[in-house]
Chains A and B, each alone.
Chain A
């Protein structure tokens, strides 16, 4: 059973539609009891770092997500959900993230911001969410900030835009996050969700 954390994020319905399309059993992960029934959890997200963290803290979801991460079961953050896994963000100075992966979220520096559209993702570490044979597949992005983990070991994939290259997938053991939107990346994205469901 996949748990989906709903905190009013914009892409919640898109993710639910994608999981339904794949025939995957999922439920909203709201209470301790919900989390206990899930063998993996997805933290979606579109929006603002501060308001998202505020909602997670007010509803106690920050504590449940940390406990779930400690349990060793797979956790996947999507877009803002990936950024929330880190310790802080330049979008909201002074606001603590979930801190499950050491590092910060930084403002993107490219010719055009937001970084919007389909870009090639190059895995730099082996990870069960990427296909071993996957080479530079296109995924859909819509963001102005990027994850910047402290350790190179926690950078799972990179993308190039103009002359800059940035981290677009993070991972520390069972906790992973992708900056792009697998639920909006066509067949390639749906396959990533399938791999997450198996990992």
Chain B
């Protein structure tokens, strides 16, 4: 049986880890390579790096960082933020990323997903969705939740998988940063809509939130940032709690 995955996420700007609330008041929170190593040692099943500026000028810094990360990380990692073309993705994958995350650019031009899947295989293509709401009318947002589109989350997930997305990273804008639990109803709704693995993101504040996620939904993975940031909780701490609840994890 596949283990449920715990995926720490790191926001990157200009080659450094940053943290802030809703992309505001970003503070430097250290060297990404050191943080990544610590997460791997602490039992992370996978890592996710989100380049929050992703301006053209910062690209070389990001590529250099991925090269360094791939030399020390012997677990898979996804890099997202500002991927608009096959060439953007190729640069990240060549540098050592295992998968690329796409979000706003795919909403603007869905054919991007098909181009990436054809070139690199669908296991490399993670579609990230920032969802507003939890019901059937939950809507897709772009630009970090600031702009609401006219697409529903489930329709967009279905279309993206048809185009070739190999995984859905579902981030609840409502739950994000609140640390009061994952948006489980929405997660289960999207799982019903697609046949690929779904990663739930947004809302994790404690190990109990992961227990709730994996008992109430069939999510393949839970992604979180702040809970792991200060180092007091490791992915293994969370996984031990999950294992005690009879949930399959890699320990």
Contact = CB atoms under 8 A, between A and B. Distances in A.
Interface of A: 10-11, 13-14, 17-18, 20-21, 46-48, 111-120, 138, 140, 142-144, 160-162, 181, 183-187, 189-190
B110 interface: no
Question: Interface majority SS on A: helix, strand, loop or mixed?
Answer: mixed
Nearest to B195: A112
B123 A117 contact: no
Contact of B1 (A17, A47, A160): A160
B220 A117 contact: yes
Interface residues of B, number: 30
Given A17-B96, A116-B166, A119-B3, A140 B71 contact: no
* Max chain B C-beta neighbours (<10 A), residue from A18, A181, A185, A186: A186
Given A10-B93, A14-B98, A161-B2, A144 B122 contact: yes
21 contacts: A13-B70, A13-B95, A21-B71, A21-B72, A21-B74, A112-B197, A114-B122, A114-B167, A116-B2, A116-B123, A117-B2, A118-B2, A120-B1, A138-B3, A140-B75, A160-B1, A161-B2, A183-B74, A184-B98, A185-B74, A187-B74
Nearest to B71: A17
A47 B120 contact: yes
Given A117-B3, A160-B1, A112 B75 contact: no
Contacts of B13: none
Given A112-B220, A114-B197, 7 more contacts: A14-B96, A14-B98, A17-B74, A46-B121, A114-B123, A115-B2, A142-B166
